[in-house]
Amino acid sequence: MSFKFQINTDIKFNRNKYLLAKADKYKPEIIHKTVFPKELVKLIKDKSQLDDVGIKKSNSIEQLTTMSFAKDDSFILDMGRHCVGKFQIHIEHVGSPMDAPLTLKIRFAEMPNEFKYNSDDYNGWLSKSWMQEELIHIDTLPVDLQLSRRYSFRYVEITVVDTSPKWSVQFSRPTVIAQSSVDKLKAIRPNFDDKELEQIYQVGLNTLHECMQDVFEDGPKRDRRLWLGDLRLQALANYTSFDNTNLVKRCLYLFAAMTAKDGRISANVFTNNEYIPDDTFMYDYGLFFISTLDDLLKHEFSQEILDDLYPIAKKQWEYDQKFITSEGKVILDEDYITFVDWSQDFDKTTSAQAITIYTLKQLINLAGLAKDSEKIRYQKQLEKLESYAKNKLFDKDKGFFISGPKKEINLASQAWMVLAHVLNDKENHLLMKKSKKELFPIKGIATPYMYHHVDQALFEAGLKDDAIKLMKEYWGKMISLGADTYWEAFEPEQPNFSPYGNAMVNSFCHAWSCTPVWLLHEYLN
Amino acid sequence: MSFKFQINTDIKFNRNKYLLAKADKYKPEIIHKTVFPKELVKLIKDKSQLDDVGIKKSNSIEQLTTMSFAKDDSFILDMGRHCVGKFQIHIEHVGSPMDAPLTLKIRFAEMPNEFKYNSDDYNGWLSKSWMQEELIHIDTLPVDLQLSRRYSFRYVEITVVDTSPKWSVQFSRPTVIAQSSVDKLKAIRPNFDDKELEQIYQVGLNTLHECMQDVFEDGPKRDRRLWLGDLRLQALANYTSFDNTNLVKRCLYLFAAMTAKDGRISANVFTNNEYIPDDTFMYDYGLFFISTLDDLLKHEFSQEILDDLYPIAKKQWEYDQKFITSEGKVILDEDYITFVDWSQDFDKTTSAQAITIYTLKQLINLAGLAKDSEKIRYQKQLEKLESYAKNKLFDKDKGFFISGPKKEINLASQAWMVLAHVLNDKENHLLMKKSKKELFPIKGIATPYMYHHVDQALFEAGLKDDAIKLMKEYWGKMISLGADTYWEAFEPEQPNFSPYGNAMVNSFCHAWSCTPVWLLHEYLN
């Protein structure tokens, strides 16, 4: 997840040392693996690949040490897999003595099309600082160049900006020290008797693996933050694959320890240097703290965690009361937006109502576990919320949930209402069948996050074949376009579209897109 | 010095451990001084300054910490003096949490006009790697940014390439750890009763100070090598100011330890990493080993150094015999060029004859000190060389030395013949007077190195006032154009000319231009 900017520097935050100590207790040990490149590649025009950029082997990796590079020469290493880690390479000079420094430009790319763009041309709203490129001057050779920063990439392009006319350089031993808090070899790998689904599962597993670092990051290339909405989905996928519950606990404690004084939970926290809650708040993301906590305790119950975190979940719920009328209607607030999806082109009122119901049901479960007498009040509020949804938001004539003053019918509303189980199973089945008929093919949705909820709604409504078909069409399409890991954004109608105007800042390994791992376990196994 | 490329990778070199150990024995301790910036400046159009670029104070340095910088903002620090050293600055972020890395571009300049150019536009024959600019990504703030490389500069331009829209940065404590092997406060500073000359002397002293590092470097910004021809002049300027004879000894031992197997002394050696003799050889530079050794021993006699280095000097002389006919004529060789000056537009035959005579006289002195019986042979050869010069190269009708098959009359020939004292003092006086009348104003000479020899010839010929006038017109002109240190190249007829097509690779602090320090001592004190 990453979203347009909110600036709220006046907000006062709690900083609960007891909860932060628990977050530290669950800090993972990072596992390092040495990765050697597979081969040297060159870019080729390939209309079947993203942005028409494909790759082709140019040399074996053994040949690299025999090649020498002078001014403007370059080569691309293919690591053979997506890596999150640090890069190193040995460099020597050949020819006359080194009469000038060596200047290198090193670029890292998750997808080949990133190399098509020039960072100087980028003028988007996301920080240019995310470009994974370095300009490096080396005063003396030979050197074991070890770049100190962490990058997220499969491909490394090294360009010799200049040597001098008297000498050139040779490269050897390119190596990546890749990192994750989980070991891919230890993941659960189910058998689906369907090669395509197995590949879809594997790429999801790769994505999750790369995003599981010191916390669940949204994207290891860019943002690198712990987002609550993304965490919820990553945690689910994690339970069925790596099953590292400690990392989920760590993340929940981080959110819990640094809530705003008014009870709101930040949409994300920074953990790169010190722990800092972001001044960004979103209605649905705040509620997903409840959801993530309930999912965790269902997967692995802990009285200690319930005792520590239920009060935080409850406080978030109490804060949200101002947006729920006595009639059970959820009111959108401009200053406390409901995300649902990146798109701003559909009405989100009914989605917000559904998400509120979805998470209240989980809160009620938690209240039961905590033996909280408020459970009764929550149940009564749930009835009102559901009743409002059924009576005021479901248009019986049209057979769809409507949203907002213009009574808009959109896919997000139907999907979320199905997930919230406001209607009964039979009605849900009909609703998704009708959605499939009238609201498909999906248009204008660019996030795997929203596609996930639609796909889950199909499964949930008993439309397993349609869910699998959509999964193959969406996640499978990314694979056919060259994905090793799933992307932050992908709109099948315009696959080459970058939300930032330059693929160099796209995140092609993004946590919220890993969910086939969970969906396939949950609904197929 | 730096010159067009020779590539001779097949040459075999000696590597005399005994002499290298002596070079190490004289390795200087580097003196570090902390320099704080004087003020913040901005560039202004100023036709009185080099390239029409001047500077003007924009803010006091105290104001820096109160300013904050966002995307595309920049500032320029004026250190108030030329520095060779390492730069550091403290950076904090202000605003929302740091949701992206910080990217900075940092450029270092000796002269303000360097900032006018863009490194991307550079397409000259010198390596682009000399550009003093860095692109730096910083993942976490606050940071005490300490750049690991050494730069040569007075001005530092810091541009914020990007933060994010949510935060900006503040800078504080910009500091340079400047370095030299000598202490400027301990230099001899004569009184000339002439403010202009005192300033000319001071800027020369600055230049020498900055170039005296682990060896005598030609330019601390670019090349950074120990060149033999430059060493000769720096050593002379050093004796009369800092008087660090150990550094001269170190440099002579370095050249002596790594001669080519055939006896030639490299035009320069690299000392940045390991000691490496360059595969560039020049007839006159080779001979200047004799000259530099003789100058040293005249200044401070050492039997040990004479014993160690006279054989090396002698071997260089013996190698050169193939270029001297039995008649006493020096023959130019395309593969072993005589430098004299950067310009390739004048004939260098007669200059080479004069330099041969100049250095042979010094070799004879060394042979005397070494009680070498070859001295007699050398004296006989000197007679032949002088006789050839007087009878064949001096055109009595024209009153000038002529050079080459086209009997060219050029200033370099007259100046070097005066310095070689081939004619008597009265004849020399007349020759330089005539040169002044007919060959001045000087045209087509772009190096302070050649100007030095002309100026010295004026002094040597008893034309002191003319020598001072030329010094003020040439070195004084650099000062009026903004120089703190003298430049590698300066052609008064076209002051904005860069020999490289981009001022960013010009060296504005270059050893061979420091010689007013010596000239003023030698001829005025």
Q: What is the mean pLDDT of residues A315-336?
A: 97
Which of A87, A119, A127 should we substitute to test contact with B (largest number of B Cβ atoms within 10 Å)?
Answer: A127
- CA nearest to A339, candidates A330, A348, A331: A348
- Secondary structure letter of residue A27 according to DSSP: P
Paired with B403 in beta bridges are B408
How many degrees, rounded to 5, is the angle at CA A378 between CA A375 and CA A379? 85
Nearest-by-CA chain A residue for B269: A97
Q: What pLDDT is stored for residue A250 in this prediction?
A: 98
Q: What is the mean pLDDT of residues A103-130?
A: 93
Q: Is there a contact between A5 and B166 if contact means CB atoms under 8 Å apart?
A: yes
Q: How many Å lie between the alpha carbon of B233 and the closest alpha carbon of chain A?
A: 22
How many degrees, rounded to 5, is the angle at CA A122 between CA A121 and CA A128? 135
Residues of B in contact with A214 (CB under 8 A): none
Q: Is there a contact between A162 and B223 if contact means CB atoms under 8 Å apart?
A: no
Q: Is there a contact between A137 and B128 if contact means CB atoms under 8 Å apart?
A: no
Q: Is there a contact between A99 and B164 if contact means CB atoms under 8 Å apart?
A: no
Q: What pLDDT is stored for residue A273 in this prediction?
A: 84
Looking at the partner chain, which of B140, B162, B279 has a beta carbon nearest the beta carbon of A128?
Answer: B162
What is the band of A303 on the pLDDT scale with cuts at 50, 70, 90? very high
**Neighbouring residues of B35: CB distance < 8 A, sequence distance ≥ 6:** B79, B80, B81, B83, B85, B175, B176, B177, B178
At residue B442, does pLDDT exceed 80? Answer: yes
Q: What pLDDT is stored for residue A9 in this prediction?
A: 75
CA quadruple B347, B350, B354, B357: dihedral sign: positive
Q: Is there a contact between B100 and A129 if contact means CB atoms under 8 Å apart?
A: yes
- Segment (H or E) for A307: helix A303-319
d(CA B291, CA A320): 89
Q: Which residue has the higher pLDDT, B3 or B352?
A: B352
Where do the domains of chain B lie, and which CATH numbers do they carry? 32-179 (2.60.120.260), 191-524 (1.50.10.10)
Looking at the partner chain, which of B71, B126, B278 has a beta carbon nearest the beta carbon of A97?
Answer: B278
Amino acid at B111: M
- Segment (H or E) for A349: helix A349-369
Query: Given strand A226-227, what is the order of strands in its sheet?
Result: A226-227, A268-270, A276-277
At residue B440, does pLDDT exceed 80? Answer: yes
**Interface contact B182, partner A, CB < 8 A:** no
Amino acid at A511: A
Q: How many Å lie between the alpha carbon of B99 and the closest alpha carbon of chain A?
A: 7
At residue A2, does pLDDT exceed 60? Answer: no
Q: How many Å lie between the alpha carbon of A227 and the closest alpha carbon of chain B?
A: 12
* Structure confidence by residue, pLDDT tens digits, B177-226: 999 999 999 998 888 899 999 999 999 999 999 999 999 999 999 999 99
Q: What pLDDT is stored for residue A3 in this prediction?
A: 52
Report the SS3 class of residue B173.
Answer: strand
Which of A8, A10, A99 should we substitute to test contact with B (largest number of B Cβ atoms within 10 Å)?
Answer: A99
Percent above pLDDT 70 for chain B: 99
* Structure confidence by residue, pLDDT tens digits, B316-348: 999 999 999 999 999 999 999 999 999 999 999
* Structure confidence by residue, pLDDT tens digits, A46-87: 999 999 999 999 999 999 999 999 999 999 999 999 999 999
Nearest-by-CA chain A residue for B104: A129
CB neighbour burial string for B260-282, b if at least 16 within 10 angstroms, e if fewer? beebbbbbbbbbbeebbbbbbbb
Q: What pLDDT is stored for residue B3 in this prediction?
A: 52
Percent above pLDDT 90 for chain B: 92
d(CA B34, CA B176): 6
Mean pLDDT over the full length of chain A: 96
Q: What pLDDT is stored for residue B10 in this prediction?
A: 84
Q: How many Å lie between the alpha carbon of B73 and the closest alpha carbon of chain A?
A: 14
* Structure confidence by residue, pLDDT tens digits, A33-45: 999 999 999 999 9
**Interface contact B165, partner A, CB < 8 A:** yes
At residue B354, does pLDDT exceed 70? Answer: yes
d(CA B221, CA B110): 8
d(CA B159, CA B72): 6
At residue A300, does pLDDT exceed 60? Answer: yes
At residue A188, does pLDDT exceed 90? Answer: no
What is the band of B292 on the pLDDT scale with cuts at 50, 70, 90? very high
If you search the block for the tokens 């690591």, which residue do you land on?
Answer: A79
Q: What pLDDT is stored for residue A497 in this prediction?
A: 79
**Interface contact A273, partner B, CB < 8 A:** yes
Nearest-by-CA chain B residue for A98: B270
Nearest-by-CA chain A residue for B95: A9
Q: What pLDDT is stored for residue B496 in this prediction?
A: 85
Amino acid at A57: K
At residue B4, does pLDDT exceed 90? Answer: no
**Neighbouring residues of A120: CB distance < 8 A, sequence distance ≥ 6:** none
Residues of A in contact with B127 (CB under 8 A): 99-101, 103, 162-164
Complete DSSP assignment for B57-76: EEEEHHHHTT--B-TT-EEE
Backbone φ and ψ for A289, nearest 5 degrees, come out as -65, -45
Q: How many Å lie between the alpha carbon of B309 and the closest alpha carbon of chain A?
A: 25
**Neighbouring residues of A334: CB distance < 8 A, sequence distance ≥ 6:** none
* Structure confidence by residue, pLDDT tens digits, A441-482: 999 999 999 999 999 999 999 999 999 999 999 999 999 999
d(CA B271, CA B278): 10
Looking at the partner chain, which of B162, B270, B273 has a beta carbon nearest the beta carbon of A127?
Answer: B162
At residue A251, does pLDDT exceed 80? Answer: yes
d(CA A446, CA A449): 9
Complete DSSP assignment for B257-276: HT-BTTSPPPSEEE-SSS-E
Total length of chain A: 525
**Interface contact A126, partner B, CB < 8 A:** yes
Q: What is the mean pLDDT of residues A398-426?
A: 98
Q: What is the mean pLDDT of residues B150-173?
A: 97
What is the band of A127 on the pLDDT scale with cuts at 50, 70, 90? very high
Q: What pLDDT is stored for residue A395 in this prediction?
A: 98
d(CA B218, CA B340): 16
Other beta carbons within 10 angstroms of residue A473's beta carbon come to 14
What is the band of A499 on the pLDDT scale with cuts at 50, 70, 90? confident
* Structure confidence by residue, pLDDT tens digits, B99-145: 999 999 999 999 999 999 999 888 888 899 999 999 999 999 999 99
Q: What pLDDT is stored for residue A500 in this prediction?
A: 81
Q: What pLDDT is stored for residue A397 in this prediction?
A: 97
Q: Is there a contact between A101 and B276 if contact means CB atoms under 8 Å apart?
A: no
Other beta carbons within 10 angstroms of residue B354's beta carbon come to 31
Other beta carbons within 10 angstroms of residue A274's beta carbon come to 8
Q: What is the mean pLDDT of residues B500-510?
A: 90
Q: What pLDDT is stored for residue A236 in this prediction?
A: 98
d(CA A400, CA A200): 31
Q: What is the mean pLDDT of residues A326-336?
A: 96
